[in-house]
Amino acid sequence: MAAEDEDEYAIGSQVLPRGTPVEAADGTQVGTVEHAIHHHRENMLDGVVIRTEKGRVFVDAPEVARITNRRVVLTIGTAEVDALPPYRGFLGRRLR
């Protein structure tokens, strides 16, 4: 993980801006934030959708180590991020 500077601090996923850099566990930037998904009933983070060179993927909450005002750091490596399946949102689908 890259060294933190004194202006970097933890933030809540609710205020995580689109375009924030996302780093793998080794500090390599693997993408940028599209949006966070929250489980509203439980009031907790479900995961983060990130844009990579291969498209959008969903990173499950346990794989998110830290969210700061400057970056999102994952617990998984670059190879694991590359192996994530494409994200398919609910837009246009009927919910029952």
Whether 34 has a pLDDT exceeding 70, the answer reads: yes
Query: What torsion, rounded to 10 degrees, do the Cα atoms 38, 71, 8, 42 define?
Result: 10
Residue with tokens 């500090």: 27
What is the model's pLDDT at position 96?
42
How deeply is 81 buried, as exposed, middle or buried, from its count of CB atoms within 10 A (0-12, 13-18, 19+)? buried
Domains of the chain: 13-82 (2.30.30.240)
pTM > 0.95: no
Tell me how far apart the alpha carbons of residues 93 and 63 are, in angstroms, rounded to a whole number. Answer: 27
What is the model's pLDDT at position 5?
73
